[in-house]
A and B are shown apart, each in its own frame.
With several copies, the nearest count.
Chain A
């Protein structure tokens, strides 16, 4: 059930330099749960593309499988999109980028898609510095398959402290930094004032730009010791053993000043403590970015903002010294050495 927004355009909507309104960057109506953080991220992508005057059709959207990976249908309806297979978007994006270095590549993935099945491909896309924006819509859970644990950090880490020690979560930003990623940022789906500029910066970056976005899952981010009062419903569901009820919910927003902390309450009442970096933070030191994450984590805080940028980087085409033209545009003439050369090659084999 994915259909296009009606073509009606409000005459007074602001237009960007290309004459487009934000409507021109929208996609089909979302089929995610009401209040899902992923939808906020889609909105931020739309806004960022609008503000950066991106021609919509010069974007290619790629994703894996998951609720998060569905979202490319819900933004940039004039762009080609590719919803590939679970965990393998990085390779598809790498190949696409090889074929045409001129488009803007936006990859969307989830924490399951990236940190579990996709870990190998993620690592190697980082390493190759493929020129793309890679957004991991990280809800700390497998949404689409209904609530299994994922390998990434628990959203409501504070309220879950009492729980028995399970496996250590994987911090994707740290891993990316360790692997030599040239752009690494962390953000929160509900913090549009932070997220939009980060996405714009990522689009401007030449190389692999990784954005981890904490994105609450309305439905399955349920802390057992939840403080929210819908216990009744929960008990009902637990008893019937049929988990098909999604309580109505609103998007969680958290817009707060740079340099400050903010306690954000999740749908189930668990709390996450965000710390927003100030502009003056030095984004050119990889090692201090790594330590920063660790330091805040030690205080049970999650640091958000652009953590690191290396502007002096080479993207994969530069490393490989491929032609400036999109490879896909080369024709028979440029590509085929021709019959006469073939005779010469034959001769070498006699």
Chain B
């Protein structure tokens, strides 16, 4: 097959069996590319199981820095006989299929529009290792060596990474070196290296870092000053807490006493987890939990309490594919509505929508400020794609001059000097935000009774309708105030005057921007874009939409949930908000967005705008 040489612009996918230790090998590969200065975006596609089922790792290598999923596979590393048939099918015409040739491929699976590269990995490992566990682990490292040769990558970079990885455990380094070198040599010997796809050193990642969103959230909670965390394990949120714990062990253990400046409680379930967060927050600590859809559902009652009794609470929702248990190891943005309006009665919760690890870090830290300032739950809406995959990100930054905003809290002195009666729910400043006190502050002043029932300004129980309405209206006012303090949307304008816009949020960002890059200029149109960062919506959100004749709303759920939020909160004609929906559990691709928008534009020039698919 004759091919063009393609440098730093292809998609490679690894097909493995889970539980075989492939993940660390695959990560070694992608980090090596990254170290060579080439942008990457890896995606794990794993089953809801521990051992023995197919699992994939897809890495997009892209010089120009497009980081969404592209769609299509150029090189497949097919290490799993179970899934081999479809893995072979998935390779794009002109691509490669790299495999373990210890066992020959079933001839019926062969295609002649792609190249097959066989390396007898198992055979080789059998020669080298006796322990079957070592065999399995090093076979993985070996194929990294193979790829290093095939793509003409720098072997030294791979070895450097191995050394760093096993720092302090030097005796592990040598055998790993050996495995990677063996693979490298085998490839060189058996095949013409390099192949048409290549990785060349660049300087295109700059200061960027490679980190997953959950680690960023966990770190954000440390920087944000969380001292209490209560949680219940659930994929894909568990590693938020794992990382919080890890960084706490590093930064929050008193050197002298060995005591912890934090408390992490593994709760008995999600109801208890959010209950603990609310109890701790009520008592003046910064507290948070992390969960996913089913946990969010279980937290409904407590979230309503926190809204109505005005107690801060931070919750990281790492969304996965619903409804119900759904696809626990697949991604979606389908908790948008249930998070925003969680609980019975009239309730609304502040939500933040990070798109990158940097935003995960910053918004998690910010969530504590917002929660304490507005005395209400704040939900950081991450998802599996962002949370569990390494994402390239701007490095994290922190302004040491800034202190935490602990919100309106009367301290002992304040109470001491106070002449008037303390009113827990009095709107003293006209912004809807009342003052609170921590338990135990002052011997005689400032104590109040917190409850989920209706109360007057002095926190006294009442069933009086006017008092109730007054309080509910104040909560609305507080909500309005919050809309001026949450992160503003990121608006990207084209240089031409522009009547059509695209709205995205969270992990749809990268693919949307890439799609726009291709679309702008096509079909004689150009598209502005806006990344929504928070709910309540900042004024700019409404303005952007009003400024455009119509906007596409890109999201990863079936029911166009963000679009619903937008039309609920504003007075837009829903016809102007065109849903672009991707919800099969895989991260949305630039291709999908581009095609959907293009089709819609082509179609609307001939058909009426109101289309039945909107129902």
Direct A–B touching, Cβ under 8 Å: yes
Q: Which residue of B lies closest to A121 (CB)?
A: B272
Q: Which of B51, B82, B268, B285 makes the CB contact (< 8 A) with A246?
A: B51
A50: shortest Cβ distance to chain B, in Å?
15
Give A252 to B287 CA distance when docked, in angstroms. Answer: 42
Q: Which residue of B lies closest to A60 (CB)?
A: B439
Chain B residues contacting A117 (CB-CB under 8 Å) are 232, 268-270
Q: Which of B34, B207, B223, B441 makes the CB contact (< 8 A) with A336?
A: B223
Q: Which residue of B lies closest to A241 (CB)?
A: B24
**A120–B269 CB distance below 8 A:** yes
Q: Which residue of A lies closest to B295 (CB)?
A: A86
A276: shortest Cβ distance to chain B, in Å?
30
A234: shortest Cβ distance to chain B, in Å?
10
Interface size range on A against B? 35 or more
A55, A248, A349 — most chain B CB neighbours (10 Å): A349
**B21–A245 CB distance below 8 A:** yes
Q: Which of A1, A57, A244, A332 makes the CB contact (< 8 A) with B23?
A: A244
Chain A residues contacting B225 (CB-CB under 8 Å) are 330, 332, 335-336
**A82–B279 CB distance below 8 A:** yes
Which residues of chain B in 244-296 are interfacial with respect to chain A, using CB atoms and an 8 Å cutoff?
Answer: 247, 251-252, 254, 257-285, 287, 294
B180: shortest Cβ distance to chain A, in Å?
14
**A328–B285 CB distance below 8 A:** yes
**B263–A320 CB distance below 8 A:** yes
Residue B151 interfacial (CB < 8 Å): no
Give A167 to B54 CA distance when docked, in angstroms. Answer: 37
Residue B400 interfacial (CB < 8 Å): yes
Q: Which of A67, A98, A230, A346 makes the CB contact (< 8 A) with B263?
A: A98
Q: Which of B47, B136, B267, B404 makes the CB contact (< 8 A) with A332?
A: B404
**A86–B272 CB distance below 8 A:** no
Q: Which residue of A lies closest to B212 (CB)?
A: A349
Q: CB-defined interface of B228-248 with A at 8 Å, one 1/0 digit per residue?
A: 101011110010000000010
**A57–B50 CB distance below 8 A:** no
Chain B residues contacting A129 (CB-CB under 8 Å) are none
B541: shortest Cβ distance to chain A, in Å?
30
Chain A residues contacting B258 (CB-CB under 8 Å) are 321
**A79–B263 CB distance below 8 A:** no
Residue A297 interfacial (CB < 8 Å): no
Residue B614 interfacial (CB < 8 Å): no
Chain A residues contacting B280 (CB-CB under 8 Å) are 95-96, 98-99, 327-328
Give A31 to B448 CA distance when docked, in angstroms. Answer: 18
**A321–B443 CB distance below 8 A:** no
Q: CB-defined interface of B198-221 with A at 8 Å, one 1/0 digit per residue?
A: 000000000111110000000100
Give A322 to B257 CA distance when docked, in angstroms. Answer: 10
Contacts A86-B294, A219-B19, A323-B254 given; indicate if A337 touches B222 (C-beta within 8 A).
Answer: yes
Stretch at the interface among B118-126, B331-339, B391-399, B553-561: B391-399
Q: Which residue of A lies closest to B324 (CB)?
A: A85
A37: shortest Cβ distance to chain B, in Å?
13
Residue A83 interfacial (CB < 8 Å): yes
**A33–B52 CB distance below 8 A:** yes
Give A328 to B287 CA distance when docked, in angstroms. Answer: 10
Give A343 to B210 CA distance when docked, in angstroms. Answer: 14
Residue A143 interfacial (CB < 8 Å): yes
**B285–A99 CB distance below 8 A:** yes
Give A145 to B267 CA distance when docked, in angstroms. Answer: 14
Chain A residues contacting B265 (CB-CB under 8 Å) are 94-95, 98, 128, 316
Stretch at the interface among B164-172, B479-487, B518-526: B164-172
Q: Which of A2, A96, A144, A232 makes the CB contact (< 8 A) with B283?
A: A96
A46: shortest Cβ distance to chain B, in Å?
15
Q: Which of B53, B283, B402 makes the CB contact (< 8 A) with A31?
A: B53
Give A335 to B55 CA distance when docked, in angstroms. Answer: 39
A-B contact count (CB 8 A): 338
Residue A341 interfacial (CB < 8 Å): yes
Judged by DSSP, the binding face of A is mixed
Residue A102 interfacial (CB < 8 Å): yes
Chain B residues contacting A124 (CB-CB under 8 Å) are 267-268, 272
**A119–B398 CB distance below 8 A:** no
Residue B444 interfacial (CB < 8 Å): yes
Chain B residues contacting A55 (CB-CB under 8 Å) are 443
Give A333 to B260 CA distance when docked, in angstroms. Answer: 15
Which residues of chain B in 505-544 are interfacial with respect to chain A, using CB atoms and an 8 Å cutoff?
Answer: none
Stretch at the interface among A146-154, A185-193, A277-285: A146-154
Chain B residues contacting A32 (CB-CB under 8 Å) are 49-52
Residue A88 interfacial (CB < 8 Å): yes
Stretch at the interface among B105-113, B449-457, B583-591, B593-601: B449-457
A88, A317, A329 — most chain B CB neighbours (10 Å): A88
Residue A345 interfacial (CB < 8 Å): yes
Q: CB-defined interface of A219-241 with B at 8 Å, one 1/0 digit per residue?
A: 10000000000101101110111
Residue B27 interfacial (CB < 8 Å): yes
B414: shortest Cβ distance to chain A, in Å?
15
B49, B233, B261, B442 — most chain A CB neighbours (10 Å): B233
Residue A56 interfacial (CB < 8 Å): yes
Give A53 to B47 CA distance when docked, in angstroms. Answer: 36
Q: CB-defined interface of A99-127 with B at 8 Å, one 1/0 digit per residue?
A: 11011000000000000110111011000
**B438–A328 CB distance below 8 A:** yes
B323: shortest Cβ distance to chain A, in Å?
11
**A335–B228 CB distance below 8 A:** no
Chain A residues contacting B252 (CB-CB under 8 Å) are 335
Give A324 to B259 CA distance when docked, in angstroms. Answer: 8
A8: shortest Cβ distance to chain B, in Å?
16
**A321–B259 CB distance below 8 A:** yes
A-B contacts, 29 listed (Cβ < 8 Å): A32-B49, A33-B52, A34-B51, A60-B283, A72-B449, A78-B447, A79-B447, A81-B448, A84-B305, A85-B301, A88-B301, A92-B279, A94-B230, A95-B279, A99-B280, A146-B238, A149-B266, A219-B51, A235-B172, A245-B24, A246-B19, A246-B50, A248-B132, A248-B136, A321-B258, A327-B280, A336-B225, A337-B247, A342-B397
User: A80-B439, A86-B294, A328-B438 provided; 18 other pairs, C-beta below 8 A?
Assistant: A62-B279, A73-B449, A79-B439, A80-B450, A85-B301, A86-B269, A95-B280, A96-B279, A117-B270, A142-B233, A149-B266, A242-B27, A322-B260, A335-B252, A336-B225, A337-B222, A342-B396, A346-B207
Residues of B within 8 A of A (CB): 18-24, 27-28, 34-35, 47-55, 82, 132-134, 136-137, 165-166, 169, 172, 207-211, 219, 222-223, 225, 227-228, 230, 232-235, 238, 247, 251-252, 254, 257-285, 287, 294, 301-302, 305, 324-325, 395-400, 402-404, 437-444, 447-453, 460-461
Residues of A within 8 A of B (CB): 1-3, 31-34, 55-58, 60, 62, 65, 67, 72-73, 77-88, 90-100, 102-103, 116-117, 119-121, 123-124, 128, 142-146, 148-149, 151, 219, 230, 232-233, 235-237, 239-242, 244-248, 316-317, 320-324, 326-332, 334-339, 341-343, 345-346, 349-350
